[in-house]
Amino acid sequence: MRQGPLLSEAQVAEFKRNGVLILRNFYDLERDIAPIQQAIYDLIGLLIVKYRLPISRPAFSPATFDAGYQQLIALNRAYGAEIYDAVKQIPAFVRLVAHPLHDQLFAELRPGSFPAVAAGGYGIRIDNPNEDRFRANWHQEYPAQLRSLDGLVYWSPLVPVTEDMGPVEFCPGSQVEGAVPVHTRDPNNPEKTGAYSLTLQGEEALLRKYAHVSPLTSPGDLVAIDFLVLHASGHNRSQRSRWTMQLRYFNFLEPTGQSHGWRGSYAAGVDFRTIHPELCAD
Ligand SMILES: O=C(O)CCC(=O)C(=O)O
Ligand SMILES: [Fe+2]
C-alpha cells in the first residue's frame, strides 16, 4: 500500500477548478484489474456453453478478455443484458469498489469529509458499437444518484478507450452551476427511460458556456468526476464494446444529503422529484 498523500497540491487544485481529474495508472493492473477481466471472460464463456453458441475464443488475456462478446450479442442482444447484470456481481469488482485508496482519494479531494460508498451506485458499462439507447445524455450525477450533493464518480476503463470508441465528454468547471433542474423526458430519444431519460434544463446555453474535453484513457487509469460536473457518453463507432467501470462515493457530512437521509435515486427505486421537486423542470 502506498504511503502519504496520493495527490499533489496541483492535482487537488486542478480538481477544484475543473471538477474532473485523471489519475494515470492509479490501479495495479495485475492485482486490481486483471481478475475482473478474467471473470468477465469466464462469464462470456459460461453463456456460450449455456446457450450452446458456435463461438470459439482464444485463451484469456487481459487485452482480449471480451473475445466472443460481439458474436454473442449479434446472435441475441438479450445475452448482452444477461452479461451486463452479471458483471457488477463479480467479487473482484465489488472488492475494487471498496478499494482502500478510494476513501483516501475522497478525503484528499474533499478535506474534512466522511466518505461513503453509494449503495447500488456501481456497475460496469458496456457501450456497444452504434447503440444509442443506453448512452448517457448530458447530465450531472446528483439527480440520478442523490446520496449527497457532494459526491464523486470514479470511472475507469477495462479497455483502451480510443477516439472512435466515444470517450466520455466533460465540461470542466461546470460544477459551479450547482444542481441544474432536469426534464424527465428526452424528446429526441423517447425510448429512453429512468435516469437515461433526464435532460438538462437550458442544455444548449449551458453547454456553450464551457469548453468540452474527451480524454482518452487506458486500463488502470482513474477519472474522478464531481457529482455536479456536466458530462455525457460519446458515440461508439468502433468495432468493440467500450467496457468501463463506474462507482460512486458521497459525503455523509454534506447537509443536503443528511437532510434526506442519504437516499438514493433510480437504482434505489426512489423518484428524485419526491425529494427535490425544485430540480424537476417539467
Ligand atoms: O461512460 C459513460 O459513457 C458515461 C459514464 C457516466 O456518466 C458516469 O460514469 O457517471
Ligand atoms: Fe455520469
pLDDT in tens, 158-168: 999 999 999 99
**Structural domain ending residue among the three candidates 57, 78, 97:** 97
The verdict on 76 and 198 lying in the same domain is: no
Q: Is the CB of 248 inside a 6 Å radius of any atom of ligand 1? A: no
Instruction: With CA atoms as reference, report the closest residue to 124 among 160, 166, 167, 81.
Output: 81
Q: Is the CB of 128 inside a 6 Å radius of any atom of ligand 1? A: no
Q: Is the CB of 156 inside a 6 Å radius of any atom of ligand 1? A: no
- pTM of full prediction above 0.95: yes
Q: How far is the CA of 168 from the centre of ligand 1 (A)?
A: 7
Q: Is the CB of 136 inside a 6 Å radius of any atom of ligand 1? A: yes
E strands, the chain, where?
20-23, 115-117, 123-127, 151-157, 169-171, 182-183, 199-200, 222-226, 230-232, 242-251
Q: Is the CB of 232 inside a 6 Å radius of any atom of ligand 1? A: no
Of the listed ranges 12-21, 165-174, 183-192, 227-236, the least confidently predicted one is 183-192
Rounded to whole angstroms, how far apart are CA atoms 200 and 23?
28
Q: Is the CB of 221 inside a 6 Å radius of any atom of ligand 1? A: no
Q: Which atom in ligand 1 lies closest to the alpha carbon of residue 233?
A: 3
The verdict on 191 and 60 lying in the same domain is: no
pLDDT tens for 30-61 read 999 999 999 999 999 999 999 999 999 999 99
Instruction: With CA atoms as reference, report the closest residue to 89 among 36, 130, 25.
Output: 36
**How high is the mean pLDDT of the chain?**
96
Closest ligand, as measured to the CA of 248: 1
Q: What is the mean pLDDT of the segment spanning 74-96?
A: 98
* pLDDT value of residue 239: 97
Strands 151-157 and 242-251: antiparallel
Q: Which atom in ligand 1 lies closest to the alpha carbon of residue 135?
A: 3
Q: Is the CB of 228 inside a 6 Å radius of any atom of ligand 1? A: no
- Looking at residue 163, the DSSP 8-state letter turns out to be G
**Nearest alpha carbon, ligand 1 atom 2:** 233
Q: Is the CB of 144 inside a 6 Å radius of any atom of ligand 1? A: no
Q: How far is the CA of 278 from the centre of ligand 1 (A)?
A: 24
**Structural domain ending residue among the three candidates 82, 97, 112:** 97
Q: Is the CB of 244 inside a 6 Å radius of any atom of ligand 1? A: yes
Rounded to whole angstroms, how far apart are CA atoms 254 and 262?
9
Closest ligand, as measured to the CA of 246: 1
The verdict on 66 and 114 lying in the same domain is: no
pLDDT above 60 for 185:
yes
Number of structural domains (the chain) is: 2
Closest ligand, as measured to the CA of 233: 1
Q: Is the CB of 246 inside a 6 Å radius of any atom of ligand 1? A: yes
Rounded to whole angstroms, how far apart are CA atoms 185 and 198?
6
Is the residue at 2 inside a domain? Answer: no
Residues with a beta carbon under 5 angstroms from ion ligand 2: 141
**Structural domain ending residue among the three candidates 79, 97, 115:** 97
* pLDDT value of residue 194: 87
pLDDT above 70 for 3:
no
Q: Which domain holds residue 280?
A: 10-27+99-253+272-282
The percent of residues in the chain predicted with pLDDT above 70, rounded, is: 99
The verdict on 143 and 75 lying in the same domain is: no
The verdict on 16 and 54 lying in the same domain is: no
* pLDDT value of residue 173: 98
Q: What is the mean pLDDT of the segment spanning 119-137?
A: 95
